[in-house]
Structure 1
C-alpha cells in the first residue's frame, strides 16, 4: 500500500507536544534489563486475536440473516481489509513521528492524536474511546440480560419488572463494587479466560449449526434488503473488528517490529475468515429463525446452558476491564488523574440505564459500529496519516486518505441514522405486542 516510501516524509506543521505532557519514553535509552520482555511473532499474533475477537461475533449470524450470506461475507472481508489498512496507517504515522523526535513519546492512540493535531486531536480520540468502550459495555449487559431471560424466563414482577430489567438491576451493585477497584491487575487474567470461553463457545455453536443445517435445510438468501440493510450489516462488521486502540501498544511490544505488519495482516485475515464462516454457519442452521444472539438458538441441553452461562460470567468480569479506559480519560480530564469513586459509579449507572432501553443486541452493535467505531477506526487514522505524510505522498496516497475520511464520515452519519431507526422500530414493535 505504499508504506515503504513514507520514511522520507517530514512532520512540517505538526504541533509540538506540551511541555507538561509526561513522556512515555526516556531521553536516553534505558538499560535492557529494565525493559519489559518483548513479544515474539506468535505471541503478537495471539495478542492481536485477543484484542479484536469479542462478544460481537455472536451477532454475526443474525446480521447474515438480514443481509444475506454472500453479502454478509463480502462486508466482513471488505471491512477487515480496510481496518487492517487503517491500523497500519497509525503504525506508520507513529513511526514517522518517533523518527523525527529520536525517541518515543507516543504510547497510545490518544498520544498520537495529541502529537498530530494538538489538544483537539487528543480530545477527538478520547471522546471516541469513551463512547466506544462504554458502548461495548452496554452490549455486554444486553447480552447477559437477554441470555439469562432466555435461559430462566419468568413473569414480570409487579407487571413492570421484566426479566431483562431484573437481570441488569441485579448486576448493578456488583458492578459498582468491581468498578471501584483502583487497579485491575487481579482482574486481567479474566480477559484471557474470556477469550478462551469465546473460542470454545464459537466451536460449540459451529458444531450445533452444522448438525442443525444438515437436519433442517432451511431456505437461504444470498443477497437481501436495500441500502438500510447494507448500512446495518456494515455497522455490525465494523463493531466486530474494533480493536484499533490496541494497535500501537501491541506494535510497541513486538520484538520484530519490521514484521509486525505481516503478523497483523495474517491475524486479521484469519479473523475475517473465521467471522465469515461463523456468521454463515449460524444463518445456514436457523434461516429466518436466527436470533440476534445466536446462542439463544441453541437447544436446552446441559452443554448449551454451560456455554451460555460461561459467556455471561466472562462478560460480567470483563465489564470493569473495558470500562477502565473510560475511567482513565474522565479522571485525567476532570480530576487531574486522581481516582474518583463517585464519577465511576455515575458512569456505570449511565451504562446500565442505556442497556435497559436497548431491546436488541445486534441493533446496538450496528449503532456503535456505525457511529463511534467508524470514526475511531477509519476517519481519524486516515486524517492523521494525511496530515503527517500529505506533502510527500503522491496523488494516489492523498486521494486514498481523503476517500477513507469522506466515506467514513458519510457512513457514520447514514449508518447511525439507519441503526437508530432500527432500534426505535424494534421498540415500537415490542410495545404493540
Structure 2
C-alpha cells in the first residue's frame, strides 16, 4: 500500500501535468490486491461483489474530496489570520498527519500516523503472504517449499539487504517494474479466463451465484477498500500538480477507470473458475512454464519494490528512536556516525523480522486483506476524513452534508467493528 511519504514519481521541482498525475494516482492505488478480487466475488456473488467494489470506489472518491476541502478550509483560515497580523508566512502543503494535528492537537497527529503505520504494516504483510504463496505454488511438485519457508529463508535476507538502501529515488525503477509485472499478470489471467469461458460452451453466468449470502457483502467491500490503496497520498498527489484546479477531475477519471477494471477483472475471474476460485487468482492458472514465469517475475518485482512499502514505517520508527534530546540521540553522537548507522540498520532488520514472523502465521491472503481493509483501511479512508470534515468545516456545511459526514463516520466505525469481531469470533 502507498504511504504518506513522497513517492519517487512525485519528486522534482516542476509540477506534474494532468496525464502524469493520472498515472501517479493509478500507480499509488493499484497493487497486488487486484489479484484477490475474483475470490471476493466468489465469496459475495458476482452481483453483490460488483456492488461492493462500485460502492468502495465511490466512497473512496468522496472521502478524498473531503480531505481536499478540509485542507482548503484550513488554508483559508490561515490566510485570514495572517492578514489580521499584517504579514504572511510560508504555507507548507498539509499532510494527513497535519490535518489530524490541526483538528485534534498532538493526539490527533499520533492517532492518524499510527493508523497509517498499521495500514502500511497490513499491506506489507499481505505482500509477504502473496509472494510466499505464489513462489511455493511454483515449486509445489517438490513438496518441500512452504510459504513460511519462502518468507523466512528467501525473502527476509533479501529485504534485510535492500533495507540498507535509504534513497527512494534509487528504488523507483523497481516500483515501475512491479507495476509492469502486475499488468502482465492481470493480462495473463484475463487471457486464461476468456479461454475457459469460450471453451466451456455454456452461458457465462450459469451456475454462478449473484448473491452468496449476507456475510459475503462486507467481505467483498472490505477487500475492495484494501484494493484502493494510496488514500493518504491524496494531498501529496494534488500538491504535485502544476495546475491544482484540475486535480478533482483527474482524480475522478482515475477512480472511475480503476473501479471499472476491478469490476471486469473480478467478474471474469469468478465466472471462469466458479467455486474453485482461490484467494490469489494466479494460483488458479495452469501449472506450465509460462504461468510459472509470470508468477516468479511478479514476485521478484514485488520483492524489489517492498522497501518502498516499508519506507514510511522505517521513517516513523527512526524518528522516534532519534528524537531530539533523547538518550539514543545523545549516545549515537558520542559514538560517531558509525553507531547511528548500525542502530538504523538494526532497527530496520528488527522490523522486517517482526513482519516476516507475522506473515508466517497468516493463513490466507484473501481473508487477511479483507480484515485489513475493513478495519484499518476503513478507519483511514472513511472515519478520519468524515471526522476531520465535521471538525474543520462544521457549521459552514449544509445539514445534508453534515448528515452524510455522520453517515460515513458511523458506517466506518460499525464496519471496522464488524471486521474485528469477525476475526475474533472465528478464532
The TM-score, its normalising length taken from structure 1, stands at 0.85
Contact 2:314/2:348 (8 A) holds in 1? yes
- Output the CA distance in 1 between the equivalents of 2:372 and 2:91: 32
- Which secondary structure does the structure 2 equivalent of 1:105 belong to? coil
Matched, 1:353 2:340: no
2:262 corresponds to which of 264, 269, 275: 275
5 Å matches for 1:20-419? 36-102=13-79, 103-153=90-140, 163-170=146-153, 171-216=155-200, 217=202, 219-226=207-214, 228-336=215-323, 340-419=344-423
How well do the aligned residues superpose, as a CA RMSD in angstroms?
1.9
The Cα shift of 1:419 comes to: 4.2
The Cα shift of 1:154 comes to: 5.6
User: Paired residues, what number?
Assistant: 386
User: Greater CA deviation, 240-249 or 95-104?
Assistant: 95-104
Question: In the superposition, relative to structure 1, how do residues 255 and 419 fare at CA in structure 2: closer, same or farther (>3 Å)?
Answer: farther
Extract unaligned runs of 5+ from structure 1.
1-23, 25-34, 425-433
Segments of 4+ in structure 1 off by > 6 A? none
User: Cα deviations across residues 11-64 of structure 1 (Å, max 9, x unaligned)?
Assistant: xxxxxxxxxxxxx9xxxxxxxxxx811111111111110000000001100110
Task: Write 1 or 2 for the structure with the bigger share of helix.
Answer: 2
Extract unaligned runs of 5+ from structure 2.
1-5, 7-11, 80-89, 330-340
User: Cα deviations across residues 144-196 of structure 1 (Å, max 9, x unaligned)?
Assistant: 11111111026666xxxx61121011111121121232223211121111111
User: Cα deviations across residues 309-331 of structure 1 (Å, max 9, x unaligned)?
Assistant: 12101110121110101111122
Question: In the superposition, relative to structure 1, how do residues 122 and 239 fare at CA in structure 2: closer, same or farther (>3 Å)?
Answer: same
- Which secondary structure does the structure 1 equivalent of 2:167 belong to? coil
- Which secondary structure does the structure 1 equivalent of 2:314 belong to? helix
Contact 1:73/1:276 (8 A) holds in 2? yes
- Output the CA distance in 2 between the equivalents of 1:393 and 1:202: 42
- Which secondary structure does the structure 2 equivalent of 1:63 belong to? helix
